[in-house]
Amino acid sequence: MPRYIHLCTIQKRNRSQKMTYTAGTGTAAVGQTVTGATSHNTAVIRTLATGYIIATTISGTFTPGETLSTATWSATLGTQTDYLNSSGEFEYYWSDDQISVPCRFFTDTGPTVVIGPGQFEEMSTKLMLPATTTIDSLNYRIYTTQPGYEGTYRIKGSVHSLYGFQSGTVIHHRECELAELPS
């Protein structure tokens, strides 16, 4: 079993939602949490417009016709759909999906590759995760406060499932190469 000496948070990419409404009363505000009276789901208002809101941090699918409310506003939900921006592309946000995941950050320890006089290939940061983690390179990223590795990383290339030596059919752990995202 690999020795996991670090912790990380695996963040998941989610589509923002457009929630149409009618019969709005009061005043909603960006940043307020909307609650559905029937579904009890919640979402955070990112954008306000006439007849709809764009929401993030969504806990589930709301029920059409249910009352939406914040501390200062209420309305009747029409539809909840994936939000397309003015370019016709889906808009995304990141949320914490798996928290305090045991892991191990490491760098390549092989020979240094000389690119040219005084130029060396940088060592890449890699991550080892338990076999039970859910992760892929498109819909997930890594966040950590681990000293020496603090920051948010995208996954470069593929996530590799490595199999145990004895069975050969059971995933032993997962590994991926990371690229740090600007703060």
pLDDT computed for residue 1 by the predictor: 54
The residue type at 93: Y
* Length, in residues, of the chain: 183
Band (pLDDT 50/70/90 cuts) for residue 28 is very high
**What residue ranges in 37-147 does DSSP mark as E strands?**
42-49, 52-56, 67-69, 73-82, 92-107, 114-116, 119-120, 125-130, 140-144
Contact yes or no for 43/58 (Cβ under 8 A):
yes
Pairwise pLDDT comparison (183 vs 110), residue with the higher score: 183
Inter-residue contact 66 to 77 (CB < 8 Å): yes
Residue 117 is predicted with a pLDDT of 64
Please, which contacts does 33-40 make with residues 24 or more away whose CB atoms are closer than 8 Å? 33/70, 34/68, 34/69, 34/70, 35/68, 35/69, 35/70, 36/62, 36/63, 36/66, 36/67, 36/68, 36/77, 37/66, 37/67, 37/68, 37/69, 38/63, 38/65, 38/66, 38/67, 39/63, 39/66
Cβ atoms within 10 Å, residue 60: 12
pTM beyond cutoff 0.85: no
d(CA 183, CA 38): 39
pLDDT tens sequence across 65-89: 999 999 999 999 999 999 999 999 9
What gap in Å lies between CA 63 and CA 142, rounded to an integer? 32
Digit-coded pLDDT (tens) for 107-138: 876 555 555 665 655 678 999 999 999 999 99
Delimiting residues of CATH 2.40.10 domain(s) in the chain: 6-12+96-180
Is pLDDT at 172 greater than 60 in this prediction? yes
* CATH number for the domain formed by residue range(s) 6-12+96-180: 2.40.10
